[in-house]
A and B are shown apart, each in its own frame.
Chain A
Amino acid sequence: MKQTLAQKLVARAAGRSPVTPGEIVTCKVDLAMMHDSGGPRRVKPMLERLGAKVWDPSKVVVITDHYLPAADDESRRIIHIARHWAASAGVQNFYDGQGICHVVLPERGHLRPGMFVVGGDSHSPTGGAFAAYMFGVGATEMLGVLVTGEIWLKVPHTIVMDFDGALQPGVSAKDVMLFLIGRFGMDGGQYQAVEYRGAAIRGMPMQERMTLCNMTAELGGQAGLIPSDSVTTEYLKLKNPETWESDADAPVLAHHRFDAAKLAPQVAAPHSPANSKAVDEFGDVQPTLAYIGACTGAKLEDLRMASRILKGRKAKMRLLVAPASVRDQKAAEEEGTLKILLDAGAELLPNSCGICAGYGEHVLPENMVAISSTARNFKGRMGAPSSRVYLASPYTVAASAVAGRICDPREMLH
């Protein structure tokens, strides 16, 4: 029986082969990741109530990223619980203030092709970029995993998004996702596995692939998956790489084909990522803030995109940059990318979820119009309910910051 990548990953974790889409299986979890918001502060009291211990602390990773910097008593308390719990539960994989969990997890080598992973955050599908089955769960479900090491799953169907050809310069993974969410809606993924294929996907560096899988959350998929290849192997520095991919002709729920070269930069209007259209329809919009941040929009690759636009130019509006991890920031500093951003007038913010998740002192005030490289522009998410957020790629955010209005970055790459 021909199996998709998703079926193969689930079958391995369930100790079964083959598995059929729609059947309910119990999977053994290879790794469970939590952050400070949905993690220790929520699971600790429940574990205590049950008098239970973590099934295998070596398979747990805790990363602080939401309530940092801890500016008030409540935030400090939440971070303190994370630190204290990680130590007392014997969790050695604890990253404190190192950046956003979805970026730190693979950066520190915790993901490998073939794994079955749960994350206590909705953007957990990011891990699928490494051909691992990774999806988000809530705190109570995480408790179940921590106690039993297992989780139930309805074996997913696979929806294939196939991008042939090559993206134009100035068009990126974020544009691909905004386009797909606009085309298929926020429930287009039907809580199934979405597999990204084609020459344009194979040509993407690892962090761009992460952006695709990350925003599978906004597309409504349970997991976003990319077959493993030499790019995966190189990023993870694997010595004996296994290839994880769908069998040729494995049955899928849908196979959508696109010509990557035809894709224009996309912008999503308030208040939904599904409100996306080509950038040229937004030329009248004049934001007063440009934000490059979040797991989906401020990794090293994202910072590089912004720098290609900002080199030798100045931002006409406030430009905030919150690099997604400490390591990515350091790398950007060493290669000169960060200097280009700062020279253009960017203000540097801490390596945490920040405005994207509605935290911290920079959340948007009443009536502010912003353009942002983040994932969600839901009403009130990034600040006041009257604020309006346009989502776009780092290229488009940077170009708009320079132009003083929403602007096609391709005009500035010539």
Chain B
Amino acid sequence: MRAWVFGDDIDTDVLAPGRYMKLGVEEIARHCLEAVSPSFSRETKPGDMLVAGRNFGCGSSREQASAALKHLGIEALVAESFAGLFYRNSLNLGLPALVCKDARRIGHGDKLKIDYDKSEIIDLTRAETLSFEPIPAHLLEMVRDGGLLPHLEKRLKCRTTS
């Protein structure tokens, strides 16, 4: 799906501005990235992907930064690197965060497809295949379950039935 391309050090205050934090994720999502891309939340479509440079998601522990992107239907995040706390939060919410050292090769609006089995991002617009660092096995299962909450739900259910 379509790529939205951003630069380095995109911070959590830009993703989930503090003045909307007391409100629900719907309202936060409406202001997601507005300081750097005013039309982003309006124009993004379910299945779009967000591509960035270094240290994506730096700043706060606020999970709403990842939740807002997920709420807007962003399918996956691709970046040269992620801030560690944001990376954990995104996977915990079932939003794949893919570390791709060639993320800069992807252009704004490019059509992308992700092959999780091969750990590859296919840029259909440029007819290029870029590899990403595989998500560690113990986390991939959680992401596939839809995040930590459904994953725990499954585990607790298994425990009760066994």
Contact = CB atoms under 8 A, between A and B. Distances in A.
Given A24-B136, A74-B23, A143 B152 contact: yes
Contacts of B35: 379-380, 385
A272 B10 CA distance: 11
A138 B13 contact: no
A135 B84 CA distance: 11
B15 to A, nearest CB: 10
Contacts of A272: 9
A74 B13 contact: no
B61 A191 contact: no
Contact of A49 (B18, B84, B89, B153): B153
B63 A42 contact: yes
Given A122-B85, A186-B9, A38 B61 contact: yes
Contacts of B147: 140
B124 to A, nearest CB: 30
Given A24-B136, A138-B61, A380 B13 contact: yes
Given A24-B136, A140-B63, A358 B17 contact: yes
A245 interface: no
B18 A144 contact: no
A8 interface: no
Interface string B63-79: 10010000000000000
Given A122-B60, A152-B138, A74 B22 contact: yes
Contact-residue size bin, chain B (C-beta under 8 Å from the other chain):
35 or more
Interface residues of A, number: 48
Interface string A170-214: 000000000000000111000100000000000000000000000
Contacts of B149: 46, 49-50, 140, 143
Contacts of A50: 149, 152-153, 156
B152 A144 contact: yes
B89 A138 contact: yes
B138 A24 contact: yes
Interface string B27-54: 0000000011000000000000000001
A143 B89 CA distance: 12
A51 B149 CA distance: 12
Contacts of B143: none
B101 to A, nearest CB: 14
Interface in A195-238: 220, 222
Nearest to B147: A140
A74 to B, nearest CB: 4
Contacts of A357: 18
B77 to A, nearest CB: 15
A78 B153 contact: no
A402 to B, nearest CB: 29
A363 B20 CA distance: 13
Nearest to B83: A220
B118 interface: no
A52 B148 contact: no
A380 B21 CA distance: 13
A139 B63 contact: yes
A357 B21 CA distance: 10
Contacts of A187: 9, 54-55, 58, 81, 83
Contacts of B59: 122, 376, 378
A323 B128 CA distance: 55
Interface in A255-280: 272, 274
A140 B148 contact: yes
A363 B13 CA distance: 14
B139 to A, nearest CB: 8
Nearest to B55: A187
A358 B19 contact: yes
A222 B86 CA distance: 11
Question: Which 8 A/B pairs are nearest by Cβ-Cβ distance?
Answer: A358-B18, A191-B84, A138-B63, A138-B89, A187-B55, A381-B13, A122-B61, A140-B92
11 contacts: A74-B22, A136-B85, A138-B62, A140-B89, A140-B93, A141-B148, A187-B81, A191-B87, A376-B59, A379-B35, A380-B17
